[in-house]
Copies of this chain bind each other. A is one copy, B any other.
Amino acid sequence: MTAYTDLMAFQRDTEALAQVAGRLAWDQETMMPEGAGPQRAEEHGAMAGILHARRIDPRVGDWLDKAEAVDDVAAANLRHIRRSFDRATKVPARLATALAQTTSRAHRIWAKARAEEDVAAFLPALQQVLDLRREEAAAIAGNADRYDALLDDYEPGATGASLSAMFAALRPRLVDLRAAVLDRPKPPVLTGTFDEAGQLALSRKLALAFGYDLATGRIDKAVHPFSSGSGLDVRITMRTNPADPFNCFYATIHEVGHAAYEQGIDRAHLLTPLGAGVSMGVHESQSRIYENQLGRSRAFTGWLYGQMRDSFGDFGIADEDAFYACVNRVSDGFIRTEADELQYNLHVLLRFDLERALVSGDLAVHDLEAAWNDRFAADFGFAVDRPSNGVLQDVHWSEGLFGYFPTYSLGNVYAGCLHQSLRAAVPDLDDDLARGDTSRATGWLRSNLQQFGGLRTPVETITHAAGFAPQEGPLLDYLETKFGAIYGL
């Protein structure tokens, strides 16, 4: 046995245990009896303890020091394990425990503060979480940038400075496009009710149309849609709302994008560090290209219009063009998770700039709400009316997830790049999409990106698939062309 073989055998069990822990979380959202909560918290804690102990096991350090990479796959495996080991061992146990306890408490305080529209009640807890994450970032970063150390957990290799430059180029053109679009007449809005059975059936049909493999997955209802698991067991959830079938359908397509990435990874990488999506941003690129560039395209919505007519009869939208405009309707709103494709990134960029300033110390917690409201008014042209529509709307900061938000927009930028190259590679793709056939599109993504899992870095992954380095231009061009056509700009 070589050090590499020993290390990979140990890592394989760790990966398997991580899958078990992930499925426990899935169970909690889908199957767990309501009274099981206190016991489940202890089960999660025990699994987290086991996983943490394995990640900082001194034997891993020894094996890493001795192991030699005989090929690209081995080099990538060693890179992933080294990164995880270095991060985990740099954080003192005392700090890791304090973070777990403080974020758990802050999450409860945030939920109450949001319900009561009481920002002041949340700020002390937010300050504690921020202080601990800053301390963690300093432990990991040494003399390097703290925000980058946090960001690196979600998007290895990304830096706040590079994202800031990219987003600075994105923001003005999005603000202008938004203002121009909202100056035009509104497309029709969906009205009426859509029965749950019909939504469930069509949601399932959409999942299969986008290549979701039910032999290694399953679909359940949950309060929030999500994708869970890697390898041979990748499950998704969805929800229905009688008044809003688009929420069900597009959340399903979005989660299928995440799941298809996991299901599409070469099975040689099963239960290794390469056997999961390489970063949050690359993951989001898959969910967003499935949902938006493909699922909300004129061609695909033409097919979906027919499917909805078959399922629900005449639902008040006259034709495919009106349906396409309805699906892509842009309107004012406060909430990121409800935002349309055009405005979504403006919500994210706002959070990125604010959290980066919080972590650097340039913005104090007690100035956060004012900074949020100023920025929102500047980009969206109207004022935040209450905290639950503003600074208290998202769960992330209460859970300490600083550095997570930008991966949403990075995913959209990546999706823009991938989409441009996909269209060049398959010029007649719309003929497929108009028949509800995504196989050439998803096949291109699988063979150019998904199959490789964690083999390359995130930027290398996108560069390899798109044929050029990630950049914001293709996304902007796509959005301006698409919404310009819909709104007659």
Query: Chain A residues in contact with chain B, CB under 8 A?
Result: 12-14, 16-17, 19-20, 23-24, 27, 31-40, 42-43, 45-47, 49-50, 213-218, 231-233, 235, 270-271
Contact = CB atoms under 8 A, between A and B. Distances in A.
A224 to B, nearest CB: 19
Q: How many copies of the shown chain assemble into the complex?
A: 2
Contacts of A38: 232, 270
A309 to B, nearest CB: 31
A218 B33 contact: yes
A231 B231 CA distance: 31
A271 B42 contact: yes
A447 B36 CA distance: 22
A409 to B, nearest CB: 33
Contacts of A32: 233
A232 B43 contact: no
A46 B9 CA distance: 11
Given A35-B215, A271-B39, A17 B47 contact: yes
Given A23-B27, A27-B23, A233-B40, A16 B35 contact: no
A39 B231 contact: yes
A218 B39 contact: no
Contact of A36 (B34, B50, B232): B232
Given A33-B217, A39-B232, 19 more contacts: A12-B42, A13-B42, A13-B49, A14-B46, A17-B43, A17-B46, A17-B47, A17-B50, A19-B39, A20-B24, A20-B47, A31-B218, A33-B216, A33-B218, A33-B232, A35-B216, A36-B232, A42-B271, A50-B50
B36 A233 contact: yes
